[in-house]
């Protein structure tokens, strides 16, 4: 059996994730760095995905606990899209990706890991970022820890606040 060394992920293994909404818990906390909350808007917020598909995988969510896109009000919808645009600009400045996957999974059957709180995924992509590992080994390799990714994005936000 092949082994991939990723010790930074041990903080997530075996942890009791509970039944509470992780987005709402992170919003109620003021420990943004510890929770990887990158930015708070008036109606939305942005955080790093704890289980990223690629370096810089961000989640943009409304602050209000709603499970479906049809439940968003006009102001939330507008700010969600504007925040998504801003995060794509930030990721371009911080990591210079070749492209992005931007998407939404509505409902558990559609792949929503947190079906009770609507959110948008922003996944930076680079040429060659997909290789044999996911196909043959059912494994994805992430080359950078979340702490470093968070620091890079936070510094880019502070440097270029009005993206």
User: Does the pTM exceed 0.95?
Assistant: no
- Indicate which residue of 17, 65, 117, 119 is catalytic: 119
Is 121 one of the annotated active-site residues of the chain? no
The residue segments making up the domain with residue 93 are 19-159
Give me the CATH number covering residue 153.
3.30.428.10
Tell me the CA distances in angstroms from 114 to 3, 17, 42, 152, one per residue in order: 29, 12, 22, 26
Structural domain contains residue 2 = no
Tell whether 14 is covered by a domain.
no
Domain-embedded: residue 79: yes
Are 37 and 157 in contact, with CB atoms under 8 Å apart? no
Q: In this predicted model, what pLDDT tens digit does every residue of 64-105 receive, in sequence order?
A: 999 999 999 999 999 999 999 999 999 999 999 999 999 999
Per-residue pLDDT, averaged over 136-159, amounts to: 77
Domain contains 36:
yes
Residue 47 maps to a domain: yes
Residue 64 domain flag: yes
How many domains would you assign to the chain? 1
Q: Would residue 49 count as lying in a domain?
A: yes
Q: Is residue 46 part of a domain?
A: yes
Are 104 and 77 spatial neighbours (Cβ–Cβ below 8 Å)? no
- The pair phi, psi for residue 12, each rounded to 5°, is -100, -20
């Amino acid at each position: 059996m092949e082994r991939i060394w990723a010790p930074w992920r041990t903080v997530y293994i075996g942890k009791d994730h509970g039944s509470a909404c992780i987005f709402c818990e992170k919003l109620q906390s003021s420990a943004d760095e510890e929770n990887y909350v990158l930015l708070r808007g008036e109606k939305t917020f942005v955080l790093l995905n704890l289980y990223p598909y690629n370096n810089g995988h961000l989640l943009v969510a409304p602050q209000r606990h709603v499970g479906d896109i049809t439940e968003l009000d006009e102001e939330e919808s507008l700010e969600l899209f504007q925040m998504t645009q801003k995060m794509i600009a930030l990721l371009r400045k911080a990591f210079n990706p070749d492209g992005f996957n931007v998407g939404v999974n509505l409902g558990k059957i559609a792949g929503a890991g947190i079906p009770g709180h609507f959110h948008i995924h922003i996944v930076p992509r680079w040429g060659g970022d997909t290789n044999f590992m996911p196909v043959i080994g059912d494994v994805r390799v992430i080359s950078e820890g979340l702490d470093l990714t968070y620091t890079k994005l936070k510094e880019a936000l502070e440097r270029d606040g009005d993206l």
